[in-house]
């Protein structure tokens, strides 16, 4: 079995030792080196050629974000960030994801949480090690080094599977679901939507508790359309994007002639492999409450969350769309929807904002 070669970068010698020891308990992972700062990390990447890097956000000499930006130019390699569980740490994490990080793990708030954090880190390192840096460059709009540049693929045509005939003349709600690679992908969509979009938008991103609000703020700073972190009772309004808060199930309820969001189940146990928010939960609720006036969009991400929800929207007559494999950081969730016949269209990331606007 080929082991995933990992470089651990952290300014704390204790954290470097602990993370190395715990990662190497997994026979699929091999820590090939450690670095205490970004400058050392760049040098070691060039020598050791790891498959993936764990990168602390806060470091001396060259912090995690500056290190990441240099990596993307000098020695591109997938990176998983270790982020402080603070508001400032969450903001820095969003900057890191924009700069090319594949994913992140929140540092534990107490020593007892460390084993769970390392288990999450192991899983994300294995996924990140298989990610094509070419797709990361596409998602983030980073200009790749000359050696990384490829001839762009031909324009992708819509999926051959025909969408069910839309029975509504109006779309009131667009639900966008994503996971790994999603925060960067959303920055190629939400800022391109006009402030007067004739429908409301709900974004469902798999993200740890404490980070979804910073993601909403990050998108709001870049966008003409209004973006906010969803709260109980928020109305679905044209020209407004609501980001589903991490740790809650988001569903919809009728309110007068319109619709509003309802948040629940915070802190309740999750089924193995489950998510909260879940794209399936949000899309199925939209299909039930809003019906064919819902549009479903699935972006990059691991697993199958969203495929059944998108099928529910399509069965109601609403338009559905999945991101094409060529631009996905991880082609999991969109593939599941395509395989299920739930995606009416399959298009690369750079066309999705245009396709959303084309339904109005």
Catalytic residues: 179, 206, 305
Q: State both tokens at 293.
A: 């006036």
Asked if 313 and 164 touch (Cβ cutoff 8 Å), the reply is: no
Residue 238: burial class (beta carbons within 10 Å; 0-12, 13-18, 19+) = middle
Integer CA distances (angstroms), 298 to 184, 303, 331, in order: 14, 12, 10
> Alpha helix locations (H) across the chain?
13-23, 38-48, 64-74, 87-98, 114-129, 133-140, 182-186, 212-222, 279-289, 307-315, 333-340, 349-358
Residue 299: burial class (beta carbons within 10 Å; 0-12, 13-18, 19+) = buried
Separation of alpha carbons 342 and 86, rounded Å: 38
Q: How many helices (H) and strands (E) does the chain have?
A: 12, 14
Distance of CA 20 to the CA centre of its chain: 26
DSSP letters spanning 174-226: EEEEE-TTHHHHHTTTGGGS-TT-SSEEEEEE---TTSHHHHHHHHHHH-SSE
Name the phi and psi angles at 294, rounded to 5: -105, 140
Separation of alpha carbons 293 and 290, rounded Å: 6
Q: Examine residue 277 and say whether the peptide bond preceding it is cis (omega within 30 degrees of 0).
A: yes
């Amino acid at each position: 079995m080929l082991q995933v070669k990992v470089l651990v970068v952290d300014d704390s010698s204790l954290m470097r030792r602990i993370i190395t020891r715990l990662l190497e308990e997994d026979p699929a992972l091999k820590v090939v080196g450690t670095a205490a700062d970004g400058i050392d990390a760049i040098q070691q990447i060039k020598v050791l050629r790891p498959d993936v890097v764990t990168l602390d956000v806060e470091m001396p000499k060259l912090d995690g974000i500056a290190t990441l930006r240099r990596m993307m130019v000098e020695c591109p390699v997938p990176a998983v960030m270790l982020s402080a569980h603070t508001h400032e740490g969450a903001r820095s994490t969003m900057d890191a994801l924009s700069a090319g990080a594949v994913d992140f793990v929140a540092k534990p708030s107490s020593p007892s949480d460390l084993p769970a954090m390392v288990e999450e880190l192991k899983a994300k390192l294995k996924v990140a090690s298989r990610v094509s840096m070419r797709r990361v460059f596409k998602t983030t709009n980073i200009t790749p080094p000359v050696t990384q540049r490829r001839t762009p693929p031909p324009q992708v045509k819509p999926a051959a599977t025909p969408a069910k005939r839309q029975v509504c003349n109006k779309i009131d709600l667009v639900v966008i679901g994503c996971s790994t690679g999603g925060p960067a992908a959303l920055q190629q969509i939400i800022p391109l939507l006009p402030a007067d979009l004739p429908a409301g938008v709900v974004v469902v991103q798999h993200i740890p508790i404490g980070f979804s609000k910073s993601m909403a703020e990050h998108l709001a700073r870049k966008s003409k359309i209004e973006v906010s972190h969803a709260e109980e009772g928020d109305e679905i309004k044209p020209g407004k994007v609501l980001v589903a808060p991490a740790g809650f199930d988001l569903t919809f309820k009728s309110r007068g002639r319109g619709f509003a969001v309802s948040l629940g189940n915070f802190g309740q146990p999750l089924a193995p492999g489950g998510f909260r928010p879940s794209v399936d939960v949000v899309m199925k609720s939209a299909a039930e409450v809003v019906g064919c006036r819902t549009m479903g969009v699935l972006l990059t991400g691991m697993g199958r969350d969203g495929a059944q929800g998108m099928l529910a929207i399509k069965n109601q007559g609403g338009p559905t769309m999945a991101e094409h494999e060529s631009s996905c950081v991880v082609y999991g969730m969109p593939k599941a929807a395509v395989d299920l016949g739930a995606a009416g269209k399959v298009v690369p990331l750079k066309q999705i904002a245009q396709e959303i606007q084309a339904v109005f």
